[in-house]
Amino acid sequence: FEAWSARPTSPGVRRSAVLVLFGVLDALPARAGGPVASDLDVLLQRRSSTLSHHPGQISFPGGGIDPGESPAEAALREAVEETGLEPAGVDVLGTLAPLPLPVSSNLVTPVLAWWTRPSQVAAVDHAETVEVFRVPVADLLDPANRATAHRPSGGRGASRTPAFVLDGLLVWGFTALVLSGLFDALGWTVPWDAARLVEPDL
């Protein structure tokens, strides 16, 4: 988190929030063991490939904070709009420090939450989200599924972030930074090979 949060933001930064929603996996069992219960999962989604920022990437539900809203209120509202989840079944646990996302001029607050009563979720507006799914945390922690995403130098410059690769799914960038930082802070991280590089499709 420290290295990422030290990056500068533009003067016209937009305040946003994302919902980092953990719950108990109700159907698909995790395929890997580790320091967490095998049925712990996290909610993720795939952004539409037509969006101007972060097209096609895996992300947390979330979006801009409206005037008068708290980050938690914004994250939950956006999650309802994007995935159709039932907000009454979500308990907000707290927020992390805002993190700058320079590529889209956002200052993003991750909101941690627990899914006390899971509800059906699906992509509501395909112009924004094309897929919603729950990923076993144990699979994300498996060293075989971890890597470093390398974006070659281009118009926006080269960059590297943690990454998670499973079943052809690549989680990288901001979402992977938040997950990796959380896992480190909670003492869940299993040693993995940071020298393993993957290149995102941009």
54 CB-near residues (< 8 Å, 6+ apart): 47, 103, 104, 173, 174
CA triple 7-108-4, angle to 5 deg: 25
Domains of the chain: 2-136 (3.90.79.10)
The strand pairing partners of 164, in sequence order, are 146, 171
pLDDT for position 53: 59
- Amino acid identity for residue 4 in this structure: W
pLDDT for position 130: 86
pLDDT band at 48 (very low <50, low <70, confident <90, very high): confident
pLDDT for position 154: 53
pLDDT for position 8: 45
Q: State how beta strands 146-151 and 58-59 pair.
A: unpaired
Q: Which tens digit of pLDDT belongs to each residue from 150-173?
A: 876 554 555 789 999 988 789 999
| pTM, to two decimals | 0.86
Q: Which tens digit of pLDDT belongs to each residue from 56-107?
A: 789 999 999 999 999 999 999 999 999 999 999 999 999 999 998 877 788 9
Residue 59 DSSP SS3 = strand
Residue 185 DSSP SS3 = helix
